Amino acid sequence: MYKILSKEVLSNVVKLMDIEAPHVARKAAAGQFVIVRIDEFGERIPLTIADYNREKGSITIIFQELGKSTIQLGKLNPGDSLASFAGPLGHPTEIENFGTVVCMGGGVGIAPIYPIARALREAGNKVISIIGARTKELLFWEEKMRAVSDELIICTDDGSHGRKSLVTEPLKEILDNKANTIAKVWAIGPAIMMKFVTLTTKPYNVPTIVSLNTIMIDGTGMCGGCRVLLEEGAQFVCVDGPEFDGHKVDWDNLLSRLSFYKDEEKLAVEHYEHKCRIDGATVKGRE
């Protein structure tokens, strides 16, 4: 069992947890992910590693409460344990001194972009960061991102904080001004945001790395459920990724695959909430 060491509420639907998992912490690096399973009944949930502490043997995960499993995870507290915690999985982000780079985080994607921005800065890059969310309440880590960025731009869809715009708007302005000096762009967030970031950078020919979070079962290269279509053919996100050249991704295929289990996801939430009402307000897992 893997103990929850601490928990932080980052926004009304985004939570952070430090999990004790020394076997993962000893090798974890920015860009990799873990597979989490809450209990005997739980599915295997892939979550990007937001941070790690090798001395403490802990991993920081950040998740948005979207479906049954993340809602249930959000109800757990320090002292509780998770049934499974496997990783680190996937390839780490390739970090070197590229020059000037742009790091973009959308919604819960701010969490995994943070250690990448930090590592890029440490490697000597000039880091311009753009973070965005639907509304102010969904934004977090503004100060942490500012601390690792040479420039930080904040966007909200409704204008409740920072600029009222999508993250692609300031990105386009930056590219218009200095496309030839931007060496690389990283974008992590909802698939639709990543799609539009790559559409924005494409005409400028700026290499754009995206981190894909697909439907996975085992996460270790066994089921093939996470396959994505790239220009060169199908690849497995769990072993070949999770980062890919965003310009080569068939986004429409990815978006449709992500929506395949939508009905079941809704049913799972309803079933869970129904059980919660029956079992009382203090439901913790299903024990």
Partner 1 sequence: MAELKPAERMKIKRHEMPNQDPVVRSSNYEEVALGYTLETAKEEAERCLQCKDPKCVQGCPVGVLIPQFIKALREGDMVTAVKWMKVKNNLPAVCGRVCPQEVQCEGNCILSKKGEAVAIGRLERFVGDYELSQRTCPMVKAPKTGKKVAVVGSGPAGLTCAVDVAREGHDVTLFESLHGPGGVLIYGIPEFRLPKSVVHGEISYAAECLCIDIKTDHVIGRSFTLDELLSDFDAVFLGTGAGLPSFMRIPGINLNGVMSANEFLTRVNLMKAYQFPDYDTPVKLGKKVAVIGAGNVAMDAVRCSQRLMSLEAKKTGGSPGEAHIVYRRSKDEVPARAEEVHHAAEEGVIFDFLTNPIEILGDDKRKVRALRCVRMELGEPDASGRRKPVEIKGSEFDMEIDTVIMALGTNPNPIVFVDAEGLERTKYGTAVADNETGRTKKKRVWAGGDVVTGAATVISAMGAGKRAAADINKFLKGEAAWE
Question: Where do contacts with partner 1 occur on this chain (CB under 8 A)?
Answer: 23-24, 26-27, 35, 37, 41-44, 68-69, 83-89, 217-218, 220-225, 227, 229, 234, 239, 250, 252-253, 256-257, 260-261, 264, 267-268, 271-272
- Which residue, 207 or 225, is less far from partner 1 as judged by CB? 225
Rounded-to-integer distance, Cα 31 and Cα 36, Å: 16
Distance of closest approach, residue 35 Cβ to partner 1, in angstroms: 8
Least Å distance, CB 284 to partner 1, is 16
**In this structure, what token pair is assigned to residue 275?**
């059980």
Q: Which is nearer to partner 1, 32 or 125 (CB)?
A: 32
Residues whose CB falls within 8 Å of the CB of residue 257, separated by 6 or more in sequence, listed in order: 214, 215, 228
Q: How far is the CB of 189 from partner 1 (least distance, A)?
A: 23
Token digits of residue 98:
């590229």
Nearest residue to 106 via CA among 70, 151, 144, 153: 153
Least separation, in Å, of the C-beta of 27 and partner 1?
5
Of 86 and 145, nearer to partner 1 (C-beta) is 86
The least CB distance from residue 236 to partner 1, in Å, is 8
Q: How far is the CB of 188 from partner 1 (least distance, A)?
A: 21
162, two tokens: 């920072």
108 φψ region: left (φ > 0), alpha (ψ -120 to 50), beta (else)? alpha
Nearer to partner 1, 40 or 176 (CB): 40
Residue 106 half-sphere exposure toward CB, CA atoms < 13 A: 22
Partner residues linked to 89 by β-bridges: 33
CA distances from 225 to 162, 214, 222 (A): 38, 8, 9
Q: What is the rounded CA–CA span in Å between residue 246 and residue 80?
A: 38
